[in-house]
Structure 1
Amino acid sequence: MRKFVLAASAAAAFAATPALAQDGPPVDPVFTGPRVGAIVGYDHVGAGSDVSNNNGRDDQKIDGLLYGGDVGYDLAVGRLLVGAEGEVTASTASSSRNPYTSTTFGYGRVRQLRDLYVGGRVGILASPTTMIYAKGGYTNSQLRVLAGSTNFSTNNRFELDGYRVGAGVEHAVGPHSYAKVEYRYSNYGRADVLYGSGATSGRFDVDTDRHQVVASYGFRF
């Protein structure tokens, strides 16, 4: 149920933004136009609410450092800021050497690989130099399969498709730079296996949650 609560909260944030926009300050051009930024933060990948832990160990999760970059474009629509964005990240999150089975985390022993995201956001100015925003979109992630209890990786990967919602605060550091802090929740509901031979399995249902708290610094042009 937690993923539905998080999604509903994000939807409520989107719905509330137009109402807040009626009282917000005018949009400053410092928040509009193309942008590019670097991202770093905490990454937690875990079994979703439909997966039960029956093995007595808290091994239904992997944690690590998230890093990457994003690009976007924002424009003013009345007192709202509306934008589109794309992101590419990687992560150090990885299973430990404990003997993992497919029932504990859903994938066996894995290492988090790249993640792709594309979506949009809607913001309102809290002050002339600070914006609060909500976001949402599509995310595609890959997990590398680890071989047994060794450090070796196989050429097999899981590819996961899902959605992402989140919210954040962005501050204009100067006329052409900004810093932001953001929380994002992702849920992956469909996956397939990419084998080292080049073959791909059929699609199947999964339930994987992802929580991230990130900071970003970027520039506008």
Structure 2
Amino acid sequence: MKTKVLLTALASFAGFIAVPAQAETFDGPYVGVLAGYNRAEVADRTIEAQPIDAEVSREALVLGGYAGYNYKVNDRLVIGAEAGFSGAFDDELRAQSAGGSVTIDPRYSFDLSARAGYLVNDKTLVYVRGGYANSRVRTTLVSDDGTTRASDNLDGWLVGGGVERALTDRISARLEYRYTDLGNNGGQYDQHQALVGISYNF
């Protein structure tokens, strides 16, 4: 009798181990990579309050990574926080300033934001985000007086929204639009981004 009970208990335990609990895609920590389109627009003043003659813009490819944490408040509501780091390729903006040539070169950016989303179904999250953004920018002015270079960190804010779809219990994909305002020096420095991301959910 004892042997039968013991065998039954061992079989039940083995079955419990063999069937792991289903992971919650939108509940817990995650990391990911992103890529997409970036359009930067600059007008008025740049670094060191250097005025430019007209608005300039540049389109470029942006790549980056992110890490965050989702908290599932209930069956439909998800909130969380995320940190990201990115850089663009061939994204220098060139303008004129009082007869001189100005080159504005964004080096890299990072951001800290909060997300709030609604689960349309178990696999699809529609969300909005907002938070802090920072970009390291180098400006070069070439004039008759010589070449002047300046580097600075621009503080700003971002807002955006998108949709994220669970592909498996661990992998999800997102499509997102972001607007970032880095014009804290009295001028205009805006970024418009359309991004695709792949996340691994722990």
TM-score above 0.5, yes or no? yes
Compute the displacement of 1:91 (Å). 0.8
Compute the displacement of 1:154 (Å). 7.7
Partner deviation per Cα, 1:23-73 (whole Å, 9 max, x = no partner): xxxxx8221110000011111110369999965xxx611221111100000
Residue identity in the other structure for 2:27: T
* Cα separation, 2, equivalents of 1:147 and 1:54: 13
What SS is found at the alignment partner of 1:73?
strand
RMSD of aligned Cα (Å)? 3.0
Q: Is there any run of 5+ residues in structure 2 with no aligned partner, and where?
A: 1-22
The answer as to whether partners of 1:48 and 1:209 remain within 8 angstroms in 2 is no
1:219 and 2:200 correspond: yes
TM score, norm. by length of structure 2: 0.74
Residue identity in the other structure for 1:36: V
Q: Is there any run of 5+ residues in structure 1 with no aligned partner, and where?
A: 1-27, 191-203
TM score, norm. by length of structure 1: 0.68
> 2:28 maps to which residue?
33
1:76 and 2:57 correspond: no
Compute the displacement of 1:94 (Å). 1.2
Match of 2:85 among 85, 88, 100: 88
* Cα separation, 2, equivalents of 1:161 and 1:62: 20
* Structure number with bigger Rg: 2
Compute the displacement of 1:74 (Å). 0.2
> 1:207 maps to which residue?
188
The answer as to whether partners of 1:64 and 1:94 remain within 8 angstroms in 2 is no
What SS is found at the alignment partner of 1:29?
coil
The answer as to whether partners of 1:144 and 1:154 remain within 8 angstroms in 2 is no
1:62 and 2:58 correspond: yes
Residue identity in the other structure for 1:60: V
Of all paired residues, the percent bearing the same amino acid is 30
The answer as to whether partners of 2:32 and 2:65 remain within 8 angstroms in 1 is yes
* Cα separation, 1, equivalents of 2:112 and 2:162: 16
Residue identity in the other structure for 2:29: P
Match of 1:168 among 162, 184, 196: 162
